[in-house]
Amino acid sequence: MAAQSALIGGELFAGPPPSPAQLRAAHAAMLRDPSLQFSFAKAAPPSSTHLPRWLEAILKGIAEGLHAIAPFLGWVFIGGLVLALLAVLAFIGREFVRTRWPEVFRRKRAPAKPAAWRPEAPVARALLDEADKLAAAGRYAEAVRLILHRSIEDIEGHRPRLVKPAYTAREIGRLADIPENARNVFVGIAAVVEKSFFGGQGLDASGFAACRKAYEAFAFPGAWA
């Protein structure tokens, strides 16, 4: 008979299969082995956690509210889409109108009146003294041109970049940023200078006196009120 082997009690034996008595003895020895465990206590079930009652009430209220409005949520979504589409169309329409007819959105504002100003009194008096010296020497045309040029300097000092280098006295007199009463004074002085310089008309003491008086109105209080 062929040799056979068997594992009994953790040991390998050669020979015929063990008898039932040998098996029982081996089983008993295995049960007595302290390194082996054959009985397991039942694991305690995990303790159930409960939410606070106030939180459960809030969640329950939210759930009931959502359940109540559920039939209307579809219409709310559609309404939101419609409003978004209308907003986009309104923006596109506004830009189209602004591009084609910009005057629709342009506010019509009344032109602001130019702020009043006048030359400083010491400067104006110094100018008149200088002009009087020229007039006393009979140089009336030069005296009037001096007054005109200083008037232009006064304008440039109060309105920088208003007077362009190529402007004539007439063009300066038509500038809307100069107060009306002062502009009238300036135009009167410019007309006298034009007649003298371009028209070949002589300028006498009375012409100078008129221009001097006009400049006084231009420079001193009252002309820019």
Query: Can you tell me the mean pLDDT for 50-73?
Result: 83
The per-residue pLDDT for 225 is 43
H helix runs in the chain, sequence order: 20-31, 53-100, 121-136, 140-158, 169-173, 180-197, 205-219
The tens digit of pLDDT for each residue in 67-118 reads: 888 778 778 888 889 999 999 999 898 888 877 776 666 665 555 555 556 6
Which residues, 6+ apart, have CB-to-CB distance to 134 below 8 Å? Answer: 140, 142, 143, 146
pLDDT digits (tens, 9 = 90+) for 163-184: 777 677 677 777 777 777 667 7
Residue 12: pLDDT over 60:
no
**Amino acid letter, 190:** A
More confident residue, 137 or 170: 137
| Separation of alpha carbons 16 and 103, rounded Å | 117
Q: Looking at this protein, which amino acid is placed at residue 128? A: L
Tokens of 200: 């070949």
